Amino acid sequence: MTYALPVNTADRPITIIGGGTLGRRIALMLSLQGAEVRVYDTSLAVARAAVEYIATHRHRAVEELGGSPAVRLAAKDNLVEALRDSWLVVEAVPEKLGLKQAIFADLDQLAAPDAVLASNSSSFSSAEFVGGLSSPERVLNMHFYMPPEVRSVELMSSGHTDPGILELLMGELPKYALKPHLVRKQSTGFIFNRIWAAIKRESLLVVAEGVAEPQDVDALFAEVFKAETTPFRFMDEVGLDVVLDIENHYCEVAGIENKSAAMLQAYIAKGWLGVKSGRGFYNDYS
């Protein structure tokens, strides 16, 4: 069966798979046009917390970025209900390859035949999810950073993606106050994260080797580059558990040892995951 691009995108639902830190922020942005946005999580409590987050913060996003004051949100722990008639599905679950492969196998069977299936993965190419799928041409990477503060989105083909999907999303995403960038060739880490990976890895090693403290690295980075965002503050925002998963994958792809793994594992073992747990490399999060 030939894949056909979705129609009536303005009226059809959007589904986010995963109600965590990034999933709920993605859902917030994709709610700006007033279409129904469903947040699916295996934990209904997490999905409901995500919807509550969106409802609480959405008015400010609408004031600053524009959009419809109307909002239709739904928390789901039933995947069939969450996917019904959605034109866009965005996966935002932990960076575990097996988990993502299982989710895309389910999406391939349960989503509407024309639904676009996007992965927010920051380290895995969607090419790694399409094996055995009946419609690999509707799968791609759609990588967000930390909206609404950072609204850039990178779009990357799986190598099988229908070019019409990329064209569709390049046109649709600005309607949600998002700034799409096309990754023109498959690249581990896409555009920004490929560059950021080198900065992050060396920053971690400088601290793991005892050369400096996180505060020293951040202070120098801020001064030299006149930057508001600094390496260790940024890693705390992302979550140190996520940072470890990403670093493990990058190092595996590159065929090198993750020399900062032990330090990250020690923080994680103490429950110091970053902003979401109240403490990470810094302990001043309330």
Q: If you average pLDDT over residues 257-270, what whole number do you get? A: 97
Give the residue among 53, 252, 243 at the shortest CA–CA distance from 147.
Answer: 53
CB distance 156 to 143 below 8 Å:
yes
Alpha-carbon gap, residue 15 to 208, rounded angstroms = 40
Instruction: Give 137-193 pLDDT, tens digit per residue.
Output: 999 999 999 999 999 999 999 999 999 999 999 999 999 999 999 999 998 889 998
Taking residues 79-107, what's their average pLDDT? 96
Which band of pLDDT confidence, cut at 50, 70 and 90, is reported for residue 286? confident
- pLDDT above 90 for 95: no
What is the predicted pLDDT for the residue at 122?
82
List the Cα angle 232/236/240 in 5-degree steps: 105
**CA–CA dist 286, 276 (Å, integer):** 10
List pLDDT tens digits, range 199-244: 999 999 999 999 999 999 999 999 999 999 999 999 999 999 999 9
Identity at 238, one-letter amino acid code:
V
Give residue 253's pLDDT band: very low, low, confident or very high (50, 70, 90).
confident
First vs last Cα of the chain: how many Å apart? Answer: 53
Q: Which CATH class is domain 193-277?
A: mainly alpha
In the chain, what are the domain boundaries?
14-183, 193-277
Q: Indicate whether 274 pLDDT > 90.
A: yes
Contact between 164 and 5 (Cβ < 8 Å): yes
Looking at the chain, the whole-number percentage of residues with pLDDT higher than 90 is 91
CATH of the structural domain 14-183, one choice from 3.40.50.720, 3.30.70.360, 3.90.950.10, 3.40.50.150: 3.40.50.720
**What number of other Cβ atoms are within 10 A of residue 130's Cβ?**
23
User: The pTM is what?
Assistant: 0.85
